[in-house]
Amino acid sequence: MEIPRKSLFSVRHWTPSWRLPEFGTLVAFLLCSGLAFAFIRIGDEMAEGATRAFDEAILLALRNPLDRARPIGPQWLEIMMADVTALGGVTVLTLVTVLVVSYLLVTKRLANAALVAGSVIGGAILTNLLKNAFARPRPELVDHLVAVHSMSFPSGHAMGSAATFLTLGALLARTERKKVVRGYIFAVAGLLTLMVGFSRVFLGVHYPTDVLAGWTLGAAWALFCWMIARLLRPRDNETESS
């Protein structure tokens, strides 16, 4: 049987199929390890008090120097930040998770449903355990512009939004063939995560290092769940990069 000319010049034709998935998993493992290491370093520095000057400088830079109870910028910016921070709250993330998992169950995509549920629920449990372990109080340098009731490190909003949005972004990206579309999906997921984390510092309820720790740990957790799902279930034929 004659091989089509196009396939003779295709990278996929000359590359063993097992190498690409293994390479992707290796990159994910290295990135996950790097993010986890970054979280550990941030936690160590925070526990030793080495991040205090950095944290306080940024918190004060986001407040009116004449009145620390007021953030910089117009009133609408404060209102917008309060709306944005709700995207990483328990109510919104739980609602999004329930709706997505329900849809995946109805469409009989059980593995994907387990991935989303495991990533979000496991991330929430891990966050609470770490909050209690570090037991860092909330910032007292500036007024809190939204109500808070738990410990400060790491930021649950930052970690929860990273774990949820990045996991959903990875699943959605699998359904697209075009690299530009996949890039857009990940960019949106990353932007939402960054906005939620920044809003926590702007509103004075978290130190910057709380948010940095939440971002790194949330991204590492999402990657870890993705790798587990990849190892337990071979990549399906939904899409392949063009």
Cα distance between residue 135 and residue 121, in whole Å: 21
Instruction: Name the residue among 188, 160, 149, 154 with its Cα closest to residue 172.
Output: 188
The tens digit of pLDDT for each residue in 195-220 reads 999 999 999 999 999 999 999 999 99
Query: What local confidence, expressed as pLDDT, does residue 177 receive?
Result: 83
**Dihedral over alpha carbons 98, 104, 105, 106 (to 10 degrees):** 110
Query: What local confidence, expressed as pLDDT, does residue 25 receive?
Result: 72
* CA 142 vs CA 74, 135, 145, 204: distances in Å: 18, 19, 9, 6
Q: How far apart are the first and last CA of the chain?
A: 24
Helical packing angle, 110-134 and 156-173, nearest 10°:
160
Tell the residue number behind the tokens 């030793």, with chain if given.
48
The tens digit of pLDDT for each residue in 142-190 reads 999 998 988 999 999 999 999 999 999 888 888 888 889 989 999 999 9
Query: What local confidence, expressed as pLDDT, does residue 23 receive?
Result: 65
Query: What local confidence, expressed as pLDDT, does residue 193 receive?
Result: 95
49's enclosing H/E stretch is: none
Contact 151, 137 (CB under 8 A): yes
pLDDT at 87 over 60: yes
Q: Please give the structure tokens belonging to residue 30.
A: 């290295």
Query: What local confidence, expressed as pLDDT, does residue 233 receive?
Result: 62
The tens digit of pLDDT for each residue in 7-18 reads 444 444 434 444
Query: What local confidence, expressed as pLDDT, does residue 229 receive?
Result: 75
pLDDT at 192 over 90: yes
Mean pLDDT computed over 15-39: 73
Mean pLDDT computed over 12-35: 65
SS3 68: strand
Annotate 70-106 with b (16+ C-beta within 10 A) or e (fewer): ebeeeeeebeebeebbbbbbeebbeebbeebbeebee
- The residues, any chain, with a CB within 8 Å of residue 168's CB and separated by 6 or more, are 96, 100, 116, 189
DSSP string, 130-196: HHHHH-PPPP-SS--SS---S--SS-HHHHHHHHHHHHHHHHHHTT---HHHHHHHHHHHHHHHHHH
The tens digit of pLDDT for each residue in 45-85 reads 999 999 999 999 999 999 998 888 899 999 999 999 999 99
Cα distance between residue 115 and residue 35, in whole Å: 20
Pick the more confident residue, 97 or 11: 97
64's enclosing H/E stretch is: strand 63-64
Mean pLDDT computed over 119-148: 92
Pick the more confident residue, 27 or 214: 214
Q: Can you say whether the dihedral through the CA atoms of 111, 217, 90, 83 is positive or negative?
A: negative
